[in-house]
Amino acid sequence: MQPFVTSQIKNQISEITFGTPKSNSLPSEILEKLAQTIFVEAAKEEVKIILLKSYGEKAFCAGASFDELLEINDLETSKKFFGGFAKVLNAMRTCGKIVVVRVQGKTTGGGVGIACAADYCFATKDASLALPELNLGIGPFVIGPFVERKIGKSEFIAMSLDTEFRDSNWAKENNIYHQVFENISEMDEEIENFTEKLATKSTDALALIKKVSWEGTEHFDKLMPERILMSASLLLKDFTKENIEKIKLNLGKKN
């Protein structure tokens, strides 16, 4: 499978799907295309709701692409890569349309950021999540403001330090997931009902709810360059490269 981002509109709902071969991890080309697609679809008058989902029935998103991380050897390229995550999350924040996210399985790193940048998030009971960036030698700095907004600074720091998976019930209790289902088919049925009902509501009212929900985040724009630099600088350290190599090798053995 080649990495892809697709979109289709049905009943005023734009369904955006991304997919990559390795647990839907996100290389820079897909990050760029995903951000652009969110803005393009949101700009269409007929679109009231954006439904963001990933390919398959297993992992929702494994975050950064290890292959690409290992290829990055200079600061500008590193900043561009981490800036890609910032673009996607800011597109979700500022596009002006309600963004619903569907999480069908485990998610880590940047995938957690996407779940937290949702205006409304559906998940299955198998959709556990973790912030394992410290294991690599970096930290969840770019997605941090979005995660903190949902779970608070204390829980964000705890996730960042222990790097352990939290289950879907924890994610619901801590405001990341709004509804959790036994399986994908039950989730998809409710997503269809929810989004179609939402698409009948006032466009202006939905836009104002979106605006109100993100009040107090205007400083994210100024914060992002600093956060991008934090991750970009740490990625270039020998310590980080060695850790990524080890983790990638261990994952290869498991697969």
Confirm whether 26 is domain-assigned.
yes
Instruction: In whole angstroms, give the CA distance from residue 63 to residue 4.
Output: 15
Confirm whether 150 is domain-assigned.
yes
Question: Domain span at residue 75?
Answer: 4-183
* The residue to which tokens 């500008």 are assigned: 76
Confirm whether 196 is domain-assigned.
no
Q: How do beta strands 4-10 and 13-19 pair? A: antiparallel
Query: What is the number of residues in the chain?
Result: 255
Q: What pLDDT score was predicted for residue 227?
A: 98
The residue ranges of DSSP E strands in the chain, in sequence order, are 4-10, 13-19, 49-54, 98-103, 107-108, 120-124, 129-130, 179-181
CATH number for position 94: 3.90.226.10
Domain count, the chain: 1
Confirm whether 173 is domain-assigned.
yes
Residue 104 has pLDDT above 60, yes or no: yes
Q: What is the pLDDT of residues 151-198, one digit of tens each?
A: 999 999 999 999 999 999 999 999 999 999 999 999 999 999 999 999
Q: What is the pLDDT of residues 114-127, one digit of tens each?
A: 999 999 999 999 99
Confirm whether 103 is domain-assigned.
yes
Cβ–Cβ < 8 Å for 114, 64? no
Confirm whether 238 is domain-assigned.
no
pTM above 0.85, yes or no: yes
Confirm whether 91 is domain-assigned.
yes
